[in-house]
Amino acid sequence: MRILDEQGHELQEQEIDYNTGYVEKEKILVARHKAVEGVEEKGHWETVAEYANGGKDVEWVVDVPGVEEKDAWDEYEDILRFKVFSAEELAQAEITALKQKLSDTDYIAIKIAEGVSTWEEYPEMKVQRQAWRDEINRLEATS
């Protein structure tokens, strides 16, 4: 199946960056076919051979070929359309990823809250978690 960008340019699979967009199934109009008016076949019988006993071999010779009537129809092609994420969609994806990182490291905060650990044991994680929260706040403020 062909892949087209939003401007209609054909793309190869290796050219697609799924971090910046997504593909969606779509149908595009390839051609509009006009209705075809039906025509009856016209022709005549032609003698191919005559025999002494008066018999004849004949065959039908077509003068005007018949055409089957057809309604007008549109021809479509199934494609994949690559659509670039909007700035809002990219920001939301980044927020989701950062929140997942916070969620994945929540166990550290729980250990500290329960008194099993201290932040001194995870100094880089405290700084990193704060940086993630700051980035989430910045992205949410600009969205």
Residue with tokens 């600009």: 142
- Decide: 139 and 94 in contact? Cβ < 8 Å: yes
Q: What is the pTM (predicted TM-score) of this model? A: 0.55
- Using CA atoms, how far residue 108 sits from 10, 114, 121, 131, 143, in Å, is 48, 10, 10, 16, 30
> What ranges do the domains of the chain cover?
1-34+74-84, 35-71, 86-143
Residue 45 to residue 129: CA distance in whole angstroms = 94
pLDDT digit of tens for each residue in the chain (143 aa)? 999 999 999 999 999 999 899 999 999 999 999 999 999 999 999 999 999 999 999 999 999 999 999 999 999 999 999 999 998 999 999 999 999 999 999 999 899 889 888 888 888 998 999 999 999 999 999 87
